[in-house]
Amino acid sequence: MGNLKGRDFLTVNDFSRDELADILHFALQLKTERKNGKNQPLLAGKTLGMIFRKASTRTRVSFEVGMYQLGGTALFLSAQDLQIGRGEPVKDTARVLSRYLDGIMIRTYEHEEVEELAAYAEIPVINGLTDLLHPCQAMADLLTVLEHKGKLEGLKLAYVGDGNNMAHSLLLACSKMGMHVAIASPAGYEPRREIVRAAQENAAAYGTEVLITTEISQAVKAADVLYTDVWASMGQEAERMARIRVFKPYQINREVMQLAAKDAIVMHCLPAHRGEEITDDIMEGPQSVIFDQAENRLHAQKAILAKVM
């Protein structure tokens, strides 16, 4: 299973380009085997604990099904049901769960909480989402581009919208895997500087370009992949109406599609607010690979689980 056993999966930037490529090609292999009805008992007898502080559709179902398909068991652990939700220190929870489980997946708000969990756990910790990063989604996204375009290197991905955890993970993942990446966000909503700096370092190493702009036309020009996300993430519901006004020009629609490459594919990590960040006709159109992308959460995460556990 390679040399990733026991490693945490907190950010794609903790892994080399070759390691990420290895995970992606293994995901493709697992996907093909599954479609051909092959049994995959790679994690037989192993148990993944899944801690949720944030609600989820794709993360919960894909990890739970993924563990089942690999012959293991997944436990849904709501923060309300754990002592961690009543003030038990993260470091105590980490050490106790390490005695029962073979891996932990956590979906939460503060990235520091995941880092602390990983620091004290004696088993692999997988970041299922934080306010800073969403690395498993980024791996599913790379897998989807690879399937539809046949390669990653030299392609351009344009992300339009909030400089959020998804923008951060795409910046790191694309720049590391040899893709040019452009982010178009309104002023004041750009990605965090330290993430942009890390992406620029990747880009310098792999000969790619990183562009951060407020101009949507500049970002999407000749892009092979167009990507968007909701304008108000979980925890930002109070700002929703204000954000809709600010982000209105940052919609993926027919006019924007005409600026991209003719054969551009359209992606969205879901859930989508149709008519806001993306129009219904584009989401349902022939260039949309959004539901292939959603499926690939399962296959990418199975590869990560099998490699680290």
Architecture, CATH, for domain 135-294? 3-Layer(aba) Sandwich (3.40)
Q: Which of 22, 269, 299, 301 is catalytic?
A: 269
CATH 3.40.50.1370 domain position(s) in the chain? 12-133+297-308, 135-294
Question: Active site includes 134?
Answer: yes
**Two structure tokens written together for 102:** 């073979």
Question: Active site includes 80?
Answer: no
Which residue in 301, 4, 24 sits closest to 177, CA to CA? Answer: 24
Q: Which of 137, 251, 293, 301 is catalytic?
A: 137
Q: Which of 53, 58, 111, 134 is catalytic?
A: 134
pLDDT score, position 1: 47
Q: What distance in Å separates the CA atoms of residue 243 and residue 188, rounded to the nearest whole number?
A: 11
Query: What confidence tier does 10 reach under pLDDT thresholds 50, 70, 90?
Result: very high
Q: Which of 22, 111, 229, 301 is catalytic?
A: 229
Question: Active site includes 60?
Answer: no
Distance from CA of residue 84 to its chain's centroid? 25
Query: Tens digit of pLDDT for each residue in 46-61?
Result: 999 999 999 899 999 9
Query: Tens digit of pLDDT for each residue in 12-50?
Result: 999 999 999 999 999 999 999 999 999 999 999 999 999
Instruction: Tell me the HSE value of 164 on the side-chain side, using a 13 A CA sphere.
Output: 20
Q: Given the structure tokens 């004041």, which residue do they identify?
A: 188
Residue range 65-73: average pLDDT? 98
Instruction: Tell me the HSE value of 236 on the side-chain side, using a 13 A CA sphere.
Output: 16
Query: Tens digit of pLDDT for each residue in 119-170?
Result: 999 999 999 999 999 999 999 999 999 999 999 999 999 999 999 999 999 9
Question: Active site includes 174?
Answer: no
Lowest mean pLDDT among 85-89, 129-133, 227-231, 273-277: 85-89
Q: What distance in Å separates the CA atoms of residue 67 and residue 308, rounded to the nearest whole number?
A: 13
Question: Active site includes 53?
Answer: no
Query: Tens digit of pLDDT for each residue in 178-200?
Result: 999 999 999 999 999 999 999 99
Q: Which of 141, 297, 299, 301 is catalytic?
A: 297
Q: Which of 53, 107, 168, 299 is catalytic?
A: 107
Architecture, CATH, for domain 12-133+297-308? 3-Layer(aba) Sandwich (3.40)
Question: Active site includes 269?
Answer: yes
Average pLDDT, the chain: 96
Q: What distance in Å separates the CA atoms of residue 128 and residue 104, rounded to the nearest whole number?
A: 10
Query: What confidence tier does 105 reach under pLDDT thresholds 50, 70, 90?
Result: very high
Residue 92 has pLDDT above 90, yes or no: yes
Query: What single-letter amino acid sits at 286?
Result: P
